[in-house]
Every structure is written in C-alpha cells, then in structure tokens.
Amino acid sequence: MSDESPEVLISQAEIERRVGELAAQISSDYADKGEIVLIGVLKGAFILLADLSRRLTVPRSIEFIAVSSYEDGNVPSGAVRLVMDVRGSIEGKHVLIVEDIVDTGHTLHYLIEMLKSRGPASIKTCVMLHKEHSTEVDVDIDYLGFNIGDEWVVGYGLDYAEQDRTLPYIGIVKP
C-alpha cells in the first residue's frame, strides 16, 4: 500500500452526524421494549458499536461475535463459519446486530439465521455501509448509515490487511 492517506469518502463529521441519527431512531423505536442486546460483529464493528451504544438512550447490553468466510483459493465461497460466539443467552431478548459493512450479504444472512434459531424476541440489524451493487444475498438492513459503490474502503473499523481500522473517516484504498 502507498504511504498516501486514503481519499476521504465519508468524513468524520458525516459519520458522527449519521451515527447520531441512527442512535436517535433506534432509541425511539425501542423506547418501550426494555433492554436491547447489541451484538457487534468482530472485528470491523468495534468502533461503530462503541459510538452507537454510547449515544442510545434505552437500556442496552453488549455482546460480540466473530465469524470467518471460507475461501476457495482466494475467492470467498459464500460459506461462513462461527469463530467466537456471544457469551449470554439471547432467548426472549431484543437483538440488534451491529455490522460495519454488508458486501455480498453472506455474513449478515448467516448471522441472522443462526441467531434467529435461538428464539430471540426480535432481531434487527444496524449496518454502517452497504455495497448495494455487490450484494448476492438479500438481507434486511433496518438501520443503515450509507450506501456506497464497489470501492475498497478503510477506516472506522474497516481494514486493508489489518491497516487503517482506526482512521476516523471512511476512505478509499487506492490500487
């Protein structure tokens, strides 16, 4: 990768504004529902989960889950494997999956189906970025930050070879 900083796609100010809007919407939608269990999908969602969870005004608890994509050569096969599970039971609870990005949709589809089988009261999804033209599996995104094109993005939790996750903005990696 070059030494140049990635070109800004979504600025820190735009991210902060949008996360504030999402938190307000979620707080309003869950106002009379009791506690939400926020499940952050490692690693990419750690920053969104931290920012979003602190701006909610409804009771919430935090869980993390980690998955990995099976690859066929270097090409993702679409199959997803659970690497780390949540600690607590989600039976009867309101679950909000928090993801940094939906690309093909396979990861979020797998997680929704897997968590649904555990009998939660509800499952919704909050996703920062959606590559809408890359999506192969339809998934319901209930709370979306931004639609983006097919560029490789970094920052705000997203990496390129584990670099640039902590950039405060979302940038485009130059080839």
What are φ and ψ of residue 95, in 5° steps?
Answer: -105, 135
Q: Which of residues 11-40 bind ligand PRP (CB under 6 A)?
A: none
63 binding ligand PRP? (CB under 6 A): no
Closest C-alpha among 142, 73, 135 to residue 106: 135
For residue 69, give the amino acid letter: S
Segment contacting ligand PRP (CB under 6 A): 19-27, 41-49, 113-121, 145-153? 41-49
Contact flags string 113-152 toward ligand PRP, x per CB under 6 A: ----------------------------------------
Spatial neighbors of 175 by CB under 8 A, at least 6 apart, are none
Segment contacting ligand PRP (CB under 6 A): 4-12, 27-35, 83-91, 103-111? 103-111
Contact flags string 81-100 toward ligand PRP, x per CB under 6 A: ------------------xx
Cα gap 163→153, rounded to integer Å: 11
Among 49, 102, 115, 127, binds ligand PRP (CB under 6 A): 102
Catalytic annotation present for 159: no
How near is the Cβ of 159 to ligand PRP at its closest, in Å? Answer: 5
Tell me the site size for ligand PRP, rule CB under 6 A.
Answer: 15
How near is the Cβ of 106 to ligand PRP at its closest, in Å? Answer: 4
Task: Name the active-site residue from 51, 100, 103, 164.
Answer: 103
Q: Left if phi > 0, otherwise alpha if psi is -120 to 50, otherwise beta: which for 74? A: alpha
Burial of 3 (0-12, 13-18, 19+ CB in 10 A): exposed
Which DSSP category does 6 fall into?
P
Spatial neighbors of 94 by CB under 8 A, at least 6 apart, are 30, 33, 34, 35, 36, 37, 120, 121, 122, 124
Residue ranges in contact with ligand PRP by CB under 6 A: 41-44, 69, 99-107, 159
